[in-house]
Chain A
């Protein structure tokens, strides 16, 4: 479906991402969502803002992806309510619940009306993202019982795990209903790492917000920093120098490499092959050390700012990276061969945690995990911004949707990222790496949309006066993919949960905000 197919007034936004924005009424809101859904489009994000200062009351937004790009709809939420879209896009359910917790606007007929991000830190009748909520006020903890869905029957029992987990991972609670070792149902409860990120942005300027954007999800700092910068650049209608954009892509691909290498090692380890972890973690460490030597930070935090990047790459640095890519390429190819040949490893990978393509499309699985279940979406290939429009990115996909497929997609994406890094290093244009941005106009909007290693990172920005942020919503692909883990583990045994969970490797911090 293309943008011309809508019977709506939509205006294109300036900037690197192909985005159209339009205000809609309640009827058009649901109609457009239904149209997009029926034509195979997806919901990227649902969020809201308090525009009472602008006499617009509360509004709810949706970002939908179609073949032409991204459509951003805004609907007035009269009487603090709006027509929900969780019946059209099941993935909207938790976003609607979070919107209720944070802004106090609710869908008319929600399929699930439980709180999501609010546990005990603020009372049910207070809403952090309302402008009259003071973000520094500490409310007394409220007691709260969260009604998990229970499974009953002979021999069924529950295992409660978390929020403090056995390994070094982020906190969340998992409620398993099991019979023997077999998982009948998994219900996660997230929100433990909610630290008021969106409220913090509202006290910041476009400049100062970049640092926070890079800390929404530490493993995706480049993706978030780029999406944030892209949104700011879109709001002020400026394009950074070309060299800066090429360097950003180099950083993004290096972030993809670091995370995929780490995951490939950890997946080997979770299936009992410690050799894999030792080998891949060395490759990752080598990459991180070069990041520190050439860009000043192991994970590349704060390397991207609105207007460009902060550190340039000289010729010797480029040559060093090129030489290291050759070593990495060879090592990965040897390890890929070993993984493929290892019967014990493949026995654990194949068939574990399967998400069939039909389920993936129905529930909106996206990003890396989506591509492993035949959901062929990759912004770098479909909506290529500079420099990806010059690189002919080859999307990696698989149909099986199991742990093995997610491993294969990671290997393919490592190989592709190595190819892209080489092309970027060869084609890096000369020139400046930063251009100062003008002050943002009041009440402007902007969008950033970047294919991070986990999936698409989306940032929607509304500016206020004096270059300040009035509202910023960062959206992590984990919102889409957490519900699919619940399906992926059904019928598997509890001891395979860590392996299946790792094969998705979703973010808690990026989701809880």
Chain B
């Protein structure tokens, strides 16, 4: 046990401290928390669906949980079921074989719900495009609120996308 504690102390706090002003990350963190408090009562629950991705975007979604980005520290967490998710992150071009599963996952979410299409494939179909096997972009299958391009998008870009999704929802709610 003492080795674990020593290692934790040696590592220190890795979470990137938001600078005082004019820094996108800090703005992101603060605005996220404000928005979440207002709309989701302090917790945003995200459900992820890989609809046919190459697994690259998944690696960056995993990175969101590392101590540097510490997404959970902002009150945003990934949940195991669409039934209690506020936001759906969808990666990949939607393969024909995942089309029904994606539609059912979307249908299972309670209103209000947000959809963020992740990566070049989610935004445009990417290198896989539309074909006998691929429906292409996510919006060809379910309504999309926000599209975050990148191959794969960086964790910071993903955080920004999540924030933008929440702001958008506020605007729509008026």
Interface residues of A (CB under 8 A from B): 119-122, 128, 133-139, 141, 163-164, 166-171, 191-197, 199-200, 211-212, 215-219, 221, 262, 275, 277-279, 281-282, 284-285, 288, 298-299, 301, 334-335, 337-338, 341, 507-509, 512
Query: How close is A102's CB to chain B, nearest CB, in angstroms?
Result: 10
Given contacts A193-B50, A194-B97, A200-B131, contact A275 B63 (CB under 8 A): no
Given contacts A120-B97, A219-B55, A275-B4, contact A262 B62 (CB under 8 A): yes
Alpha-carbon distance between A512 and B105 when the two chains are bound, in angstroms = 21
Chain B residues within 8 Å of A211, by CB: 127
Cross-chain contact B97 with A282 (CB below 8 angstroms): no
Chain A residues within 8 Å of B101, by CB: 163-164, 171, 192
Given contacts A282-B66, A285-B63, contact A196 B133 (CB under 8 A): yes
Chain A residues within 8 Å of B92, by CB: 193, 195
Query: How close is B95's CB to chain A, nearest CB, in angstroms?
Result: 5
Interface mask (B46-58 → A, CB under 8 Å = 1, otherwise 0): 0011111111111
- For the complex, count residues of B whose C-beta is within 8 A of A: 51
Cross-chain contact A166 with B80 (CB below 8 angstroms): yes
Q: Choose from B56, B96, B128, B130 the contact partner of A120 (Cβ within 8 Å).
A: B96
Chain B, Cβ-Cβ closest to A126: B132
Besides A139-B132, A192-B98, A284-B63, 12 more A-B contacts (Cβ < 8 Å) are A135-B132, A171-B50, A171-B52, A171-B101, A196-B134, A216-B54, A217-B54, A277-B65, A281-B66, A282-B14, A284-B66, A298-B60
Chain B, Cβ-Cβ closest to A136: B131
A-B residue pairs, 8 tightest by C-beta: A218-B56, A121-B96, A196-B133, A166-B80, A281-B66, A218-B54, A218-B55, A195-B134
Chain A residues within 8 Å of B126, by CB: 215
Given contacts A141-B96, A168-B48, contact A196 B131 (CB under 8 A): yes
Chain B residues within 8 Å of A134, by CB: 132
Given contacts A279-B7, A281-B65, contact A169 B50 (CB under 8 A): yes
Cross-chain contact A164 with B133 (CB below 8 angstroms): no
Query: How close is B77's CB to chain A, nearest CB, in angstroms?
Result: 12
Chain A, Cβ-Cβ closest to B69: A285
Chain B residues within 8 Å of A337, by CB: 3
Given contacts A193-B52, A194-B97, A195-B95, contact A299 B152 (CB under 8 A): yes
Chain A, Cβ-Cβ closest to B55: A218
Chain B residues within 8 Å of A133, by CB: 132
Alpha-carbon distance between A218 and B153 when the two chains are bound, in angstroms = 13
Chain A, Cβ-Cβ closest to B7: A334
Query: How close is B121's CB to chain A, nearest CB, in angstroms?
Result: 8
Given contacts A136-B130, A299-B152, contact A279 B53 (CB under 8 A): no
Cross-chain contact A170 with B53 (CB below 8 angstroms): yes
Q: Does B68 contact A (CB under 8 A)?
A: yes
